[in-house]
Structure 1
Amino acid sequence: DFDSLSSLMVRDDIGQLVLGARGKVITLSLDDITDKTSEVRPLLGFLLHSNHFKLHLFQQECENFIRILHTADDGNMFVCGTNAFNPACTYMNFTNGKLSLEKTMQDGRGKVPFDPYQEFASFMDGNTLFSATSSNFLGTEMVFQRHGINPIKTETRLSCKHSENNEDDNVFLFFTENAVEEPRSNVRVSRIARVCKSDLGGERTLQNKWTSFLKARLDCPFGDAGSPALVQDVFFLQDKTNWTDSIFYATFTSNPSRSQTSAVCAYKLSDIRQVFKGAFLTESSTGSWDTYTGAEPYPYPGSCIDDEMRANGLLTSLNLSDTTLLFVKSHPLMEGTVTPITGKPLLVQASTQFSKIVVDRVTSLDGQHHHVIFFGTNSGWLQKAVRFGGEEGRIVEELQLFQDAQFIDFLQLSSKMGQLYSGARNAVVQVDVRGCSHYLSCDDCLLARDPYCGWDYSRNQCDTVVGTSQSSMIQSLVEGNISMCPTICVCLSPSAVENDFITVHLVPGIAQFLPCSPDTNLPVSWRLSATILLPGPQHLLLSQGLIIWPSPSDAGLYTCETVETVKSRQHRKAVVQYLIKIQKTSADIIILKIAVAVLACFAAFLICLLWKYFRAAKLKRVGSQICNDCQERSFHQYDQANQRLGEQSLHHRVRDAGSEGAVAAQAEERVGPSHEISLTVT
């Protein structure tokens, strides 16, 4: 229920996420940001004349965009808004679960921009506000200044970019500007500037101006040498045991006119201090910038007041000589360049634009401290990276925070809650940075080498190591040693083994996407049987899967597997397998059908011949049997007839001649048919 998110602040002490938006301030519970706890609507200080509005401004820009939210020493919040191009500030408190605003208003010019969409930077040290923003309505005069009882600002113009931080008695500002020292014009470079928090300005020279303002080139070497990287955001991680070991982490993008590439670089505070103790550049009469070789005034230009200076009577910057102040005014640029740790970026990504960055310090089970880096992109993705020893930074996890591709404008971490809060124009997201449950096995848990996570062998699950004892968990961040994992016997049935792969039927020449989404963020490799697949005209390897333009020879078992190399040991684990079968084309199918028809006819012909052969053979055997039976019956009947004729002849021999003729005729009649039947059968 908010529009145009313009500021975001985490308040661990009161358990609230404070949001500044167009026309309102909202508080949400840190436990669950869907729980809205309070809301206030700061009123506009005045309304612009309608003609001025019609000529110069859009109606939306004339509203009050809350762009500053800071916590003062007493717990109250300092709030500033654009207030219809008339910046104003006030204090706000959170009491009994409700927000309330003070009625008194302060002039906000120079604290926040007039324009609700103009970039700027600010932070609060105690009750003192430091800001780097435009000081005029048109936004053409950029100044870095301290507000309060002793206001001070820069003598020169700056093109400020995003972030700044303080260290002990110093304040550091990171910004981009056109490089005056470059022979080519309009070469934009990244800078780091340093001032003293106790700076009061000069007595005569540099009145109400910084007497300690010095700046140096900030380098993050990647991409084209002639295209310096541009700083986008900075996070200061303070080392509580030795403050000189504190580190600035920064995101950079390449020159926008070239292919978009981004990087993360880290800078040690002790290295930065050495640059600001080095030589100065000076502008010659020809306009070139050369190393200053003359004598330097005392104290060293740009130095903060210390015990040695106090012993010499220099109690504040008001006691500095005009010689020293004139030198600082004419020599603000250092010769040295601030270079990153190890001389190169922690990680580099092509086709990506990094935006905000935060870093958390995590203590592993062995008591070592590790830095976990979170940074957002212009497409709404959050990436989580770590770095161990001399290794390059590696992405542990990648999350899409917003469904639509949009720039991540805000990123703040609550180490106490273990939650990360991110904001875009119209949405806020809460992310559990210690989420380890998506690592389902011990191997995955240890190979991920996530400092937040370890394998709890008592509960057989991957869980956060924060607040746990070493006795119940194992972790191997540097080695990634999975041999530490307990041995588990997993018995699979034959049917389970047979169904391990997914069968896919493809048609030659028609592209098919084979998805692969591992639970971890380890690199992915594809292989066909035992052969590793390389990018080519038929295979496009993506982070989410494989696109294949199959040919008949591409049939086989495709395996997507995670690959992690730790200490020269390579660990592979199959994620998904596809059994690719290539379907025949139309011409192949027609030929196959014809071949099948011919084979069918030939088979039918052979079957017919065989049937006739076996039938004839069978009939011959049956005929022979019948013939034998008939012959036996014919001869038996013939013998019986002869016997009867003989008997009749003896019986009637005494009769007269007429009777003999009749008996002979009857005998001939009996014998004739029997003989004829026998012949007919034969």
Structure 2
Amino acid sequence: MMRAPAVLSYFLLIMSGGLAVSTPRRSVSFQDLDLKQFSESGFDSLSSLAIRDDVRQLVVGARGKVLTLSLDDIAKKTGEAEWTVSPEDKSLCQMKGKGMKECDNFIRSLHTTENGTMLVCGTNAFNPGCDYMTFINGKISLQGSKQAGKGKVPFDPYQRFTSLMNGNTLYSAASSNFLGTEMAFQRYGLNPISTEVRRSWLNEPTMISISLVEANKTRVEDEDAVFLFFTESAVEEYSDSVRVSRIARVCKSDLGGERTLQRRWTSFLKARLVCPFSDVGSPSLVQDAFFLRDQNDWRDSVFYATFTANSHRESSDACSKSAVCAYKLSDIRQVLGGTFLTERDTGSWDTYTGEEPSPHPASCINDELRAKGVTSSLHLSDKTLVFMKDHPLVKGAVAPAAGKPLLVRTGMRFSKIVVDRVTSADGRQRHVMLIGTDSGWLQKAVRFDGEDGRVIEELQLFETPRPINFLQLSSMTGQLYSGADDVAVQVNVRDCSRYTLCDDCLLARDPYCGWDKIIGQCVSVVGALVGSVIQSLTDGDILMCPIPELETKPGIVYLFAHTAQFLPCSPETNLPVSWRLSDSVLLPGPRHTVLSQGLVVRPSSSDSGVYTCETVETVKGKVHRRTVVQYAVQVQDTDSLMGTMRAAVIVLAVFACLLISFICGALVARHQKVKMGICIDCVNVNDNVHNSVHNSVHNNVHNNVHNNVHNNNNQVIIVMFPYCQDQAAGRRADEALAHCER
């Protein structure tokens, strides 16, 4: 008979269209996680977060205030600046139908300018405004030079948007009206510019992320560009309700047109972004994107993006699916340089087959065009600009590298992503994906060549489930910073202390961690002495480890014959487990039921021996087994064991009576008075304890377990044992899948 976990894994593979669904190797609960957090009275509605490595501060925007926290320990507040709404503005906001809390000032964006001051923008009672903030002698202060914030942040404190600061130039993708219906992708600064207000350009978009890609300019066609990730209703689909993921690009040097497209992007191009892991016909929706620049060739740089399945059948958290896809910059550039789509008079969209103007529409002004006399977008012909105005959408779709996701998970919704570049002990560069979820768990994942992505461990960042809306990594401290509505957290993603043994340290294949042969600990490879740390990221070769010391002998456990009992096994990881009796693997059957946290055994008199629970991990086809716990089981006849227990209970009862008598005497000597009834009859103790133990052990264990196992053919979850108390990982993937099937 196939084991249940194997059946579930096979079913998950089918559900994912052949994609391997990754289960975390280890789950670390909030209580077991060594993190720092900041929370105080009056601090709520955390709405922005920025790292200032230069002054070692974490800047946090909330409702009506900006806070600075020590980057080394965010529990230490270093500064605070208030920016509240006047009573008149709040009253006017409420007159327009908004709630009292909505009419406060939510600090939605924090950006550092060239001179070190910060541009701070807030919703300001549905009348967005911005101000500059300075650091003077370690203290922060707002300058009070209020300026319009329309389009830089939304009017609505809860509407999604994105922005980016480059030097003193701000790029923002946000709504620009009170109702939040007019969306634009804009640039602010010396040469302000915006998208055209047309359905073909932006159709009910949700703005996700902005990234600046600066070219090395080693070739004449290279030019800096800004990329926008968003979702929108697809104009090219027959149904307006189909939402798709998009990537758009504009040129950093774009100045708009001279007559046509004045102060409008002349280089705005967009394409569909695909991440195939959900149902056919249900496009996945991008949730966040992170740009990781290639240090050798910028054209090989990669965008990492999180996606959730856009399917009504996967609407619940337990049944939802998420993925991470990676996109090479060279592939994106190739798609955006391809064929255009055009809108017909009927409203349908088809491939454009006519003549394209020269230069190629939406081209950036590079050295090649400058040599031809086109030195800026102001010099582009009206013919080219009219074509660009009517054709912002290309036919091709941007597919992920290798044609499939790096990572797929069921039962959760991915939100934010940050990717860290780590130099491993062999000198190679490894990419670690740090992924936030809507339930407050951080996924630390990797993907090695020739393998599917896998989650090394997941960390519970908040005590109660809440979305991870912010995720930033400090290059200086190596710490990850996040936050929810009323709390900011700091966690060391390089922490290797949870790997207590060498084999566990190497088998985890965590690029951050290696085994230090000198001190005999699993340590971070960042800053470690060269040659002192061993890793085996590709193969998980534990033969590199020192020879372990001899293990201690297992403790003796007495079991009833012919009565179902429970042997606990709770490994620190989420790896599958197997059981052995002496040298034989225990298979599911009438006498053995394997659960996620132990073994239900109904032994016969011949089943005495050493029971071993071990984790099973396969790396590159090699199976690694690690002992979690061992029991030297001796099976005894029920009647003889009851007699032994009765004798033990009598001894314990006499000892308890003597102890109580001693306490009573001490109390009498000290207080000269004792309430009657504290000292009780030894005979009653003996009878009560014996009856209690006998009933609990014999009736509960024998009747409940025996009946459950027999009546349900060994396939039930025995609720009297702590099987469902999975505090670390929450609902496992197999239980989530079972929930979906129900």
User: In the alignment, is residue 22 of structure 1 matched against residue 63 of structure 2?
Assistant: yes
CA contact (8 A) 1:421 1:431 kept: yes
For 1:105 and 1:194, locate their aligned partners in 2 and report how far apart those are by CA, in whole Å: 31
CA gap 1:484/1:109 in 2 versus in 1, 3 angstroms: same
1:81 Cα deviation from its structure 2 partner = 0.4
> Aligned residue for 1:566?
619
Helix, strand or coil: the match of 1:444?
A: helix
- Please show how residues 620-635 of structure 1 align to structure 2 within 5 Å: none
For 1:534 and 1:358, locate their aligned partners in 2 and report how far apart those are by CA, in whole Å: 43
Residues 310-365 of structure 1 deviation map (CA, whole Å, 9 limit, x = unaligned):
11111111111111111111111111111111111111011100111101000012
CA contact (8 A) 2:420 2:432 kept: yes
> Aligned residue for 2:244?
189
> Aligned residue for 1:516?
570
CA contact (8 A) 2:516 2:534 kept: yes
- Please show how residues 166-177 of structure 1 align to structure 2 within 5 Å: 166-168=212-214, 169-177=224-232
User: In the alignment, is residue 114 of structure 1 matched against residue 126 of structure 2?
Assistant: no
Aligned AA for 1:195? V
For 1:94 and 1:196, locate their aligned partners in 2 and report how far apart those are by CA, in whole Å: 33
CA contact (8 A) 1:507 1:584 kept: no
Of 349, 354, 361, 1:294 maps to: 354
> Aligned residue for 2:654?
none
Normalised by the size of structure 1, how large is the TM-score? 0.80
CA contact (8 A) 1:190 1:229 kept: yes
> Aligned residue for 1:406?
466
> Aligned residue for 2:525?
465
CA gap 1:104/1:577 in 2 versus in 1, 3 angstroms: same
Select the structure of larger CA radius of gyration.
Answer: 1
Helix, strand or coil: the match of 2:261?
A: coil
Helix, strand or coil: the match of 1:153?
A: coil
Aligned AA for 2:622? R
For 1:106 and 1:288, locate their aligned partners in 2 and report how far apart those are by CA, in whole Å: 43
CA gap 1:150/1:45 in 2 versus in 1, 3 angstroms: farther
Aligned AA for 1:196? C
For 1:329 and 1:541, locate their aligned partners in 2 and report how far apart those are by CA, in whole Å: 62
For 1:24 and 1:33, locate their aligned partners in 2 and report how far apart those are by CA, in whole Å: 17
For 1:462 and 1:588, locate their aligned partners in 2 and report how far apart those are by CA, in whole Å: 45
CA contact (8 A) 1:280 1:335 kept: yes
> Aligned residue for 1:232?
287
Of 200, 210, 215, 1:164 maps to: 210
For 1:588 and 1:390, locate their aligned partners in 2 and report how far apart those are by CA, in whole Å: 51
Aligned AA for 2:373? G
> Aligned residue for 1:425?
485
Aligned AA for 1:297? P
Q: Comparing both chains, which one has the higher relative contact order based on Cα–Cα distances under 8 Å and sequence gaps of 6 or more?
A: 2
User: In the alignment, is residue 70 of structure 1 matched against residue 117 of structure 2?
Assistant: no
User: In the alignment, is residue 41 of structure 1 matched against residue 92 of structure 2?
Assistant: no
Helix, strand or coil: the match of 2:247?
A: strand
CA gap 1:586/1:481 in 2 versus in 1, 3 angstroms: closer
> Aligned residue for 2:449?
389
Cα-Cα RMSD: 2.8
> Aligned residue for 2:365?
305
For 2:502 and 2:278, locate their aligned partners in 1 and report how far apart those are by CA, in whole Å: 38
For 2:243 and 2:602, locate their aligned partners in 1 and report how far apart those are by CA, in whole Å: 51
CA contact (8 A) 1:502 1:577 kept: no
Aligned AA for 2:146? M
CA contact (8 A) 2:103 2:125 kept: yes
CA gap 1:517/1:76 in 2 versus in 1, 3 angstroms: farther
1:533 Cα deviation from its structure 2 partner = 6.3
> Aligned residue for 1:614?
none
> Aligned residue for 2:628?
575
For 1:144 and 1:45, locate their aligned partners in 2 and report how far apart those are by CA, in whole Å: 30
CA gap 1:321/1:51 in 2 versus in 1, 3 angstroms: closer
Structure 1 alignment gaps of length 5 or more: 590-682
> Aligned residue for 2:390?
330
CA contact (8 A) 2:445 2:456 kept: yes
User: In the alignment, is residue 525 of structure 1 matched against residue 572 of structure 2?
Assistant: no
Helix, strand or coil: the match of 2:232?
A: strand
For 1:579 and 1:214, locate their aligned partners in 2 and report how far apart those are by CA, in whole Å: 69
Aligned AA for 1:465? V
> Aligned residue for 1:8?
49
1:523 Cα deviation from its structure 2 partner = 2.6
CA gap 1:514/1:209 in 2 versus in 1, 3 angstroms: farther
CA gap 1:527/1:515 in 2 versus in 1, 3 angstroms: closer
User: In the alignment, is residue 247 of structure 1 matched against residue 307 of structure 2?
Assistant: no
Structure 1 window deviating more from structure 2 (109-118 vs 177-186): it is 177-186
CA gap 1:87/1:312 in 2 versus in 1, 3 angstroms: same
> Aligned residue for 1:82?
123
Aligned AA for 2:337? K
Residues 513-557 of structure 1 deviation map (CA, whole Å, 9 limit, x = unaligned):
946241xx5633233544476899x96865xx35x7776789887
Residues 551-595 of structure 1 deviation map (CA, whole Å, 9 limit, x = unaligned):
678988765433332221111212235689897769989xxxxxx
Residues 627-664 of structure 1 deviation map (CA, whole Å, 9 limit, x = unaligned):
xxxxxxxxxxxxxxxxxxxxxxxxxxxxxxxxxxxxxx
CA gap 1:528/1:14 in 2 versus in 1, 3 angstroms: same
Aligned AA for 1:219? V
For 1:533 and 1:401, locate their aligned partners in 2 and report how far apart those are by CA, in whole Å: 38
Residues 589-638 of structure 1 deviation map (CA, whole Å, 9 limit, x = unaligned):
9xxxxxxxxxxxxxxxxxxxxxxxxxxxxxxxxxxxxxxxxxxxxxxxxx
Aligned AA for 1:526? S
CA contact (8 A) 2:571 2:615 kept: no
CA contact (8 A) 1:453 1:465 kept: yes
CA contact (8 A) 1:6 1:21 kept: yes
CA gap 1:367/1:198 in 2 versus in 1, 3 angstroms: same
> Aligned residue for 2:553?
497
Helix, strand or coil: the match of 2:468?
A: coil
CA gap 1:294/1:588 in 2 versus in 1, 3 angstroms: closer
CA contact (8 A) 1:516 1:560 kept: no
For 2:380 and 2:290, locate their aligned partners in 1 and report how far apart those are by CA, in whole Å: 33
For 1:515 and 1:68, locate their aligned partners in 2 and report how far apart those are by CA, in whole Å: 48
Aligned AA for 2:502? C
Helix, strand or coil: the match of 1:325?
A: helix
1:286 Cα deviation from its structure 2 partner = 3.5
1:33 Cα deviation from its structure 2 partner = 0.8
1:61 Cα deviation from its structure 2 partner = 1.0
CA contact (8 A) 1:502 1:578 kept: yes
1:469 Cα deviation from its structure 2 partner = 2.9
Of 303, 323, 328, 1:268 maps to: 328
Sequence identity, in percent?
Answer: 58
CA contact (8 A) 2:342 2:349 kept: yes
Structure 2 alignment gaps of length 5 or more: 1-39, 215-223, 315-319, 639-696, 704-742
For 2:359 and 2:441, locate their aligned partners in 1 and report how far apart those are by CA, in whole Å: 48
Of 446, 451, 460, 2:506 maps to: 446
1:308 Cα deviation from its structure 2 partner = 1.1
Normalised by the size of structure 2, how large is the TM-score? 0.73
Helix, strand or coil: the match of 1:32?
A: coil
Helix, strand or coil: the match of 2:394?
A: strand
Helix, strand or coil: the match of 1:459?
A: coil
Aligned AA for 1:524? P
CA contact (8 A) 2:93 2:126 kept: no
> Aligned residue for 1:93?
134
